[in-house]
Amino acid sequence: MPNPLSIIVGAIPRDCPIHQGQPRGAVPTIPAANKVKSRTSRLYFLALVALAALALFQPAAADSDPDPYSSLEFYLKYRQVVDQLGCIQCVSRPLLGCETPTCQDAKALIRQKLAAGESPDQIVQFFVDRYGDAILLNPPARGFNLLIWILPVVALMAGALAILVLLAKKGQAKSRLSPAPLGDEYESRVMEEVRAIERSRG
């Protein structure tokens, strides 16, 4: 088998995997000239590889990476952490399912910390300390952030209340209509035609 790694050794260097077709980060623009282009892009590439090597997390070696599916208990704890966190590099993507090297390393780190006996809350806090509240998929439910849940519920209640009040007022003002059935379009068309026939006869 040919060595498949003539392309890239290790993980794939890349931007945010997706932002609806608009990757965040550098979108290529026209370079000054072709020659410069190839050199800059190679430099850029090397710089990225170097950055990846210097990344916050040491790439997790397979033997030190616990299998998250070894027990249900471990997996549920793992999901409890992962499901609260977003992608390290891009906005509002879940960490679960994100395959950038940074995110894969972050997930490996979570598994290692869990195996080392840290609690899910401690691990989440570790990420919040490092990246701020923005790393959480939902903002912490306290203070100003509570508005995000309260306002829609209040709006729904207020809407319902407004409708009830408005109708109660009208209900008092006017006596009720008799429940005469109303015809559908088809029926009214039939009636119109019947009337038209009667008119033409009369």
Partner 1 sequence: MADLGAVVVLAALIVAVFGVAASLIGHRRGIPALVISGRRAALSVGFLVVLATIALIVSFVTNDFSVRYVAERSSLETTLSLKIVAFYAGQAGSLLYWTMTLSIFTAVVVLQNRRRHPDLMPYVTAVLLGIQAYFLFLLGFVDGPFERLPYTPPNGLGMMPLLEDPGMIIHPPMLLAGYMSWAVPFAFGIAALASGRLDSEWIRTTRYYAIFAWLVLGAGNLLGSWWAYHVLGWGGYWGWDPVENAAILPWFIGTAYLHSVMITERRGMLKVWTMALLIITFHLSIYGTFVVRSGLITSVHSFALSSVGPYFLAFLAASLIGSLALFTRRLPAMRSDNEFEFTVSREGAFLLNNLILVAITFATFWGSIFPLVSELVRGVRITVAKPFFDQINGPMLLALIVLMGIGPLLPWRRASRQLLWKNFAPPVIATGVLALALFAIGVHEPLPLIAFASCGFVAFSVALEYYRGVVVRRRAGQTLPRSVVNMITVNRHRYGGYIVHIGIILIGIAVVGSNFYQLEKEVVLDPGQATRIGRYTITYNGLNETALPDRRIVSAHLSLTQDGRPIGEVEPGRSFRRNFERQPTSLLVIRSDLREDLYILLASWDADGKASFFIYVNPLVMWLWIGGVVLILGGLVTIWPERSLQPALATAPAVAPAGAGATADA
Residues 56-95 that bind partner 1 (CB under 8 A): 62, 65, 68-69, 83-84, 86, 91-94
Note whether 17 binds partner 1 by CB under 8 A.
Answer: yes
Which residue from 142, 174, 199, 201 is in contact with partner 1, where contact means CB under 8 A? 174
Which residue from 54, 129, 142, 186 is in contact with partner 1, where contact means CB under 8 A? 186
Nearest to 89 by CA among 58, 64, 56: 56
The residues in 110-129 that bind partner 1, with binding defined as CB under 8 A, are none
Q: Which stretch binds partner 1 (CB under 8 A): 50-58, 117-125, 154-162?
A: 154-162
Least separation in angstroms between CB 172 and partner 1 = 11
Spatial distance between the Cα atoms of 98 and 127, rounded to a whole number of angstroms: 16
Note whether 202 binds partner 1 by CB under 8 A.
Answer: no
Hey, CA dihedral for 96, 102, 105, 106, is it positive or negative? negative
Note whether 148 binds partner 1 by CB under 8 A.
Answer: yes
Least separation in angstroms between CB 192 and partner 1 = 9
Note whether 43 binds partner 1 by CB under 8 A.
Answer: no
Note whether 190 binds partner 1 by CB under 8 A.
Answer: yes
Q: Which two tokens stand for residue 182?
A: 């109303």
Note whether 144 binds partner 1 by CB under 8 A.
Answer: yes
Spatial distance between the Cα atoms of 57 and 187, rounded to a whole number of angstroms: 72
- The region, left, alpha or beta by phi > 0 then psi within -120 to 50, assigned to residue 117 is left
Which ranges of the chain would DSSP assign to H, the alpha helix? 34-53, 72-82, 101-115, 120-131, 147-173, 185-201
